[in-house]
Structure 1
Amino acid sequence: MALLNEHEELLSAWRSLSRAAETTDGWRTIPIGIGRCRAGVRFPAGDEALLVGFSIAAPAATDLPQGRGFSVSRVGDAPSGGFDVWFGVSRKPTASLEMFTLMAADLLASVSAAKGEEQKAYYQFLSRIRSWQQFMERPRDRRLSEEEELGLFGELTIVGRLLDRGVPPSVVMQCWKGPANGLRDFMGEMHDVEVKATISPNGFPARISSLEQLDDVAGRSVFLAALRFSLQDAATSLPALIADIREKAGGDGRIGLERNLLLAGYDDAHADEYVRCFEPMDERIFRMGDGFPRLSRSSAPLAVRAAKYELDLDLVDIATVGLDEVFVAFGGALKQ
């Protein structure tokens, strides 16, 4: 899948750059992805980085977000490549290389998909960095909140459906990006799915985290899967669903599954604390298009730099699509 390839390409590029003998301070970079991106290593420290170029007015240093495990700075000695300003997103020495690579691959995919005005592409770049900033500040040694528990149950429901319809387990785990703070919960080559789950009997509140989340730019198909559950004693708990998914994933998908559960913050040590059981009640799949009510980067005025908002999906009166359309988009079989 695209994001996996970007993950591997970044690691390969950094290994190659790190092996190169370097006796002077400064950047060594090689092109990666589209023309505005380069993988880089800065000597003598040797920290890995993703460099991205834009043709915009240079922002103040205070406008650049910083986060746990990474830093963002202007890069003065990078190749111009026709761009006025270059930014480096660099791993801090104590940060996990695996986590930083996930972040860099996500940024690379997001920037590669950005079309149109340079300023909008730049804001999308910053939006994803800020999202990772919040993600990396989340505590990892606790049980999930009730909202996180429901969200993970919803995503795993789609994981199970994809596996049931014949999508290879390794492909499902590669596409499942929600736990790794992906822009959307499932991201394929050209088809994405964002999952929203609720237990509300009246109204369907869905929090949208950014202008980019439901934006179907660059020819990508974006689906919104709305799943409603009720709490029933005889239904399925989160640990029970995970046990079922582990069996379905088998050996091919087990490593990817466990990695995603770890990133989602799920720990078997807290399994006994997840006592709520969820019964599926309703599901609706919306395909993003002109009739869907949303705020998006491609349509928002340039002065709107970022936004979070809430939809009531019960009030969205447009035609839904069948799950078959989603399954086939991710490599599943048509229902016979």
Structure 2
Amino acid sequence: MASQDLDGVWTVLATSPPKSGISVSPAGSTVSAGKVLIGVDQENRRHLLIPLLPGEAARTDSRGRGVHIARLSHGDATYLTVYCLLPELHQVFTQFCRELIVTIADAASPAKEAAAALNRWRTLFSDAERMGLLSDESLTGLLGELLVAERLLVAGAPSDLRFWVGPFNDLHDMRSSTHAIEVKATMVREGRIVSISSVDQLQEPDGGNLILVHTRLDRDPAGFSLRDLVDRVLDAGAHTDQVNRRLNELGVGAADLAAGSARKFKVADTRAYDVAGAAFPRLLRSSFVAGDIPPGTLQLSYAIDLTNEPPHALNDDAVSAAFTALAAEAAHAMDS
């Protein structure tokens, strides 16, 4: 069950919390003792319930303010419940439960594995209490930018990362004087719906070009974490201080970099488009009768659908040429 599904079920259960006990729903996973459940108690605390075999030992843990483990009877069964006491930890607790569901599926002792997992995550929960974690949406966007930055560095872009301007609220994520790349990344598996934040976001630089890179990421325990990808960018030649400067601008904290196996991904699909190409859907200021957005319009955002063709994605040679051109122009500007 995907993390957004867990959130959705918890949210639904919380609309009618029980007066006592716990309201539950299947988590979509089983262990040897039966079905794993998710639930909400009378205090609207979120639970993950792991069924126990008769007489099975299970360690409880009430250390810390955020997440505890306890034994709980529900119906005719006994469970080990992992539950979240603080609403501000819901996001990271969802990530923890998602990983735990996968981990315990084949574990010889799911109860022992749950206790061990909580120990591994304890520092992360503590950090999250203090500063919070990046949302999945923000993390996905950052990973998309890091993947593009890595490729530009390999293509010869300067190590001072002057081309990576997205973290500083520039119009585009990557750019030189006449070349630009807008990066969009998602974990949504169906379709390619892309949010455009302003009427200028898909406007190419004067006399230049703009490509949009759309990357779909899937969660994968054997994949790369944020820390892994940051290390790859550093290995490609980026200056550490410039990487850290951008991470700081984006609010990336120690908890995000320490998440490790809790937040690992693989690239499922990447496509790049020339936004000035035939049939590419975009709004520009010139799209309006007066050559600009109507007076009094403070902000214009919209979404485009790249699910079907046209528009056609660029072939590999065209994408490589676009990356090489931006990298070369950025490097030349540094040498000038």
Cα separation, partners in 2 of 1:272 and 1:223, compared to 1, 3 Å: same
1:152-211, Cα deviation, whole Å (9 max, x unpaired)? 0000000111122222312xx101111111111012110110001112221112110000
1:188-241, Cα deviation, whole Å (9 max, x unpaired)? 110110001112221112110000000125222111001111111101111211
Aligned pairs, how many?
A: 190
Q: Show the counterpart of 2:269.
A: 282
d(CA) in 2 for partners of 1:238, 1:205: 24
d(CA) in 2 for partners of 1:203, 1:179: 27
Q: Show the counterpart of 1:330.
A: 326
Q: Show the counterpart of 1:202.
A: 190
d(CA) in 1 for partners of 2:177, 2:240: 22
Q: Show the counterpart of 1:241.
A: 229
Of 261, 266, 271, the match for 2:257: 271
| Mapping of residues 112-131 of structure 1, within 5 Å | none
d(CA) in 1 for partners of 2:198, 2:308: 20
What amino acid does structure 2 have at the position aligned with 1:288? V
1:73-108, Cα deviation, whole Å (9 max, x unpaired)? xxxxxxxxxxxxxxxxxxxxxxxxxxxxxxxxxxxx
1:218-270, Cα deviation, whole Å (9 max, x unpaired)? 222111001111111101111211122223235xx222211111111112344
User: Counterpart of 1:242 in 2: which secondary structure?
Assistant: helix
What amino acid does structure 2 have at the position aligned with 1:311? I
1:257-316, Cα deviation, whole Å (9 max, x unpaired)? 111111111123442346221111211111121531111122234453331011222135
d(CA) in 2 for partners of 1:303, 1:328: 34
After superposing on structure 2, the runs of 4+ consecutive aligned residues of structure 1 that deviate more than 6 Å are: none
TM-score, scaled to structure 1: 0.53
Can you give the 5+ residue segments of structure 2 that lack an aligned partner in the other structure?
1-129, 330-336
| Mapping of residues 117-196 of structure 1, within 5 Å | 141-170=131-160, 173-196=161-184
TM-score, scaled to structure 2: 0.53
Alignment check: 8 A CA contact 1:206 1:311 kept: yes
What amino acid does structure 1 have at the position aligned with 2:169? N
| Mapping of residues 1-336 of structure 1, within 5 Å | 141-170=131-160, 173-216=161-204, 218-250=206-238, 253-273=239-259, 275-289=262-276, 290-301=278-289, 302-304=292-294, 305=297, 306-321=299-314, 322-332=318-328
Alignment check: 8 A CA contact 1:215 1:298 kept: no
Structure (1 or 2) with the larger CA radius of gyration:
2
d(CA) in 2 for partners of 1:204, 1:273: 28
What amino acid does structure 1 have at the position aligned with 2:288? A
d(CA) in 1 for partners of 2:257, 2:157: 28
User: Counterpart of 1:179 in 2: which secondary structure?
Assistant: helix
